[in-house]
Structure 1
Amino acid sequence: MDTMVTEVKQSKYYSIILDCTPSVSHQEQMPVVIRTVKMDKKPEIKEHFMGFLVASETTGLGLSSLIIKKLTELNILLEDCRGQSYDNSANMKGRNKGVQARLLEKNPRALYVPCGAHSLNLMISDAATASIDATSYFGTVQKLYNLFSASPQRWAILKHYVTVALKTWSDTRWESCINSIEPVRYQASNIREALLKVREVSGPLTKVEAKSLAEEVGSYRFIICTVIWYDILHIVNHVSKLLQSPKMQLDVSVDLLTKAKTSLTNYRRIGFTSAQVSAKDMCEEMNVEAKKRD
């Protein structure tokens, strides 16, 4: 820690990156990352993880006070901060009472920049059609994983039918979302067959659940949701991975985000037609009718 603090002070100016995430113990934790430019023979962008802060209050006042207290403990001057970046929630980015507003009151040069990953989240919400209920859809994907992973026998049945196993997903990591969808996108028919097999060999409760999931996986609504979400997350995940590179440059980042926004805008305009074609092909493979259920 002392070495990192020394490097921050040597660089003088810095930006601060924050986010709030509930831990497994249900405490709101805020990781603190300080970004600097090390001026050596060749300028080098460095990010220093300064630890987790437990946030008992998630208001703009509570979080900003916590940040200032941490910087004071590290003997890092807030007046040298030149940037602040975090998610798009009101308590963080709020212009009146959010963290950005409260830090700007103390240092007008600490300009706010939205987190790229959360900004991509907003693009997704804008590009997805209104008929797609993300919570319901990903809830079904998670139920598929839970059903098979709860029993070695069921998992063996799944492995017999598919080449890429189902995966769980996390609502804080975009890559886990696309990884959970990929098996369903390209092996929906096989997963449905595995569910029907589970129904044959299981007890009453599991039999009902397997039948219900088999019907859902074979529905046109679920299939077209799968195609659309996979297409959208594929665009987002590609950019997200590139942005995580420690050598990423600002102009390249802006270009990547601009292209991603253009791709999502184009998908909203013409992507649904191609998604319908793919969904109908998947329905034909499963021998189910390609139409919405009432």
Structure 2
Amino acid sequence: MENYYKRKEPSSSTPINVVEMEDLPFDPFDIPRITQYNPNQRDEIRRQYWLRGPSQPRVSACRYCLKCALPFCGHDETDDSLFKGNFLELMDLILSQNEELRKLPKAPGNNKMVSPYIQKDVVKYFKQEVLECIFKEIGDDIFALLVNESSDVSKKEQMAIVLRYVDAHGLIKESFVGLVHVKETSSLSLKTSIDSFFAKHNVSLSQLRGQGYDGASNMRGEFNGLKAKILDENNSAHYVHCFAHQLQLVVVAVARKHLAIVNFFDKLAVLMNVVCASCKRKDILLEMEKERVEKEIGSGIIETRRGLNQELSLIRPGDTRWNSHYKTLSRLIEIFPSILKILEYVKEEGTNGSSQNQAHGLLKYLKSFDFVFYLHLMFHILGFTNILSQALQRKG
């Protein structure tokens, strides 16, 4: 099964009496069993098998699903299903546009070349081709290694491997080359997995000139971390902790040292829950902001051009990305009057006593001097760190 994807497409011959595929319950590339047919018949049988199997329809459908990051399978893949999944629906679309494929003799039984095994085979060869291009581009040149590990939704530890190198045109590239399952996250286990990955793709550790990990002890430990174990074999593989990540750690550490700032962001989290948790409240906020924007555009207070006035609601900040806090504060300052009206609505019209109590407390806090002071203070500070963080993440 694996090898037929690599075969070249047989050439088409003059019209002949085609042997029905139902009469051929074997691989048409199986030479000892196909020699019983004359050469013209053999060529035509191989051509039909190629069209049905590893030719453009399956490859094109797989390429589209991979490029768009779409799932291949559907919940119901039976013939009478309204949606059989992205892969099978694309196959039906391709076949409906190709008369030659539609006229092919039907394969016996379930021999339709659309099983998950066929799909996985095609995807696997896509992966091999991409990796071969990346490692061919690197060649014997030097590169840097970027690694991070995390558990997926199934609670399996996965190690992502990215290589950073300079291509033949002098451009810096960062290519994701693999996701490796690791049974444990110790530095020795990670080092063993990296060695196995390099050996599989004929890459030497001596080519390594840089390491980039997060600040976890198993990664950057001075004596037993992954950094140290690689440096023991190659002292030219210098370790660099991501500057943007360091900046974020500094901001988090400084913010946690001030109880008033911690309380400010805790109140901000409660505000997000009260205002954005309900679809009805979000709709009210959107309508308020829409009316405000239309009114200010008509008065010439705000400008109108592409990209402006797009976001009409609060942006929930991410726990691990403090740049998102800056966007939230910026949006809060812009729609502050509408936020107060929403809280007044929840306080007066709400049916949940807990939400009404939270809205009452938030109204009192949002109108205090402390809130206004910390809001503008953190907006000012995070504005500088946001510019710096974006500069640190800019491609070289």
**Fold in common (TM above 0.5):** yes
Equivalent residue number for residue 192 of structure 2: 65
- Partners in 2 of 1:58 and 1:134 — Cα distance? 34
Cα–Cα, structure 1 residues 101 and 145, in superposed 2: closer, same or farther, change >3 Å? same
Q: Deviations over 1:178-236 (max 9, x none)?
A: 22222224444442332121221111232123223333433444443332332232222
Which SS does the other structure have where 2:139 is aligned? helix
Per the normalisation by structure 2, the TM-score is 0.54
CA contact (8 A) 2:165 2:174 kept: yes
Higher deviation after alignment, 69-78 or 193-202 = 69-78
Q: CA deviation at 1:139?
A: 4.2
Output the CA distance in 1 between the equivalents of 2:175 and 2:258: 42
Q: Tell me whether 1:82 sits opposite 2:205 in the alignment.
A: no
Cα separation, partners in 2 of 1:65 and 1:152, compared to 1, 3 Å? same
* Structure 1 unaligned blocks of 5 or more: 249-294
Residue 139 of structure 2 corresponds to which residue in structure 1? 9
Q: How does 1:143-158 map to 2 (within 5 A)?
A: 143-158=270-285
Matched, 1:116 2:243: yes
The corresponding residue for 2:91 is none
Residues 147-226 of structure 1 aligned to structure 2 (within 5 Å): 147-162=274-289, 164-203=312-351, 204-226=353-375
Amino acid at match of 1:39: A
Q: 2:176 is matched with which residue: 30, 49, 64?
A: 49
* Deviation of 1:88 (Å): 2.0
Q: Cα distance, 1:108 vs. partner?
A: 1.2
1:82 Cα deviation after fit: 0.5
Q: Which piece of structure 1 moves more, 184-193 or 114-123?
A: 184-193
Residue equivalent to 1:230: 379
The structure showing larger relative contact order (alpha-carbon pairs under 8 Å, at least 6 residues apart) is: 1
Q: CA deviation at 1:160?
A: 4.4
**Number of residue-to-residue matches in the alignment:** 244
Q: Name the amino acid aligned to 1:232.
A: I
**Aligned pair 1:130/2:250, yes or no?**
no
Residues 158 and 170 of structure 1, relative CA distance in 2, 3 Å threshold: same
Aligned-residue offset at 1:59:
2.9
Cα RMSD for the two superposed structures: 2.8
Counterpart for residue 394 of structure 2: 245
**Closer/same/farther in 2, CA of residues 65 and 149 from structure 1, 3 Å limit:** same
Structure 2 unaligned regions, length at least 5: 1-130, 294-311
**d(CA) in 2 for partners of 1:143 and 1:56?**
38
Distance between the aligned counterparts of 1:133 and 1:245, measured in 2? Answer: 33
Change (3 A) 1:73 1:184: same
Distance 1:53 1:133 in 2: 43
Q: CA deviation at 1:110?
A: 0.6
Q: CA–CA distance in 2 between the matches of 1:8 and 1:237?
A: 34
Task: Provide the identity percentage.
Answer: 29
Give how far 1:157 is off. 2.7
Is the deviation greater in 132-141 or in 217-226? 132-141
Q: Is the 8 A contact 2:272 2:314 kept in 1?
A: yes
TM-score for both structures, normalised by structure 1: 0.71
Say if 1:157 and 1:198, in contact at 8 Å, map to a contact too: no
* Counterpart residue number, 2:230: 103
Counterpart CA distance in 2 for 1:90 and 1:134 is 28
AA paired with 2:313?
Answer: A
In structure 2, the residue matched to 1:36 is 165
State the structure with more CA Rg: 2
Shift of 1:98: 1.5
CA contact (8 A) 2:145 2:211 kept: yes
Equivalent pair of 1:188/1:217 in contact (CA under 8 Å)? no
Which of the two has greater helix per residue? 1
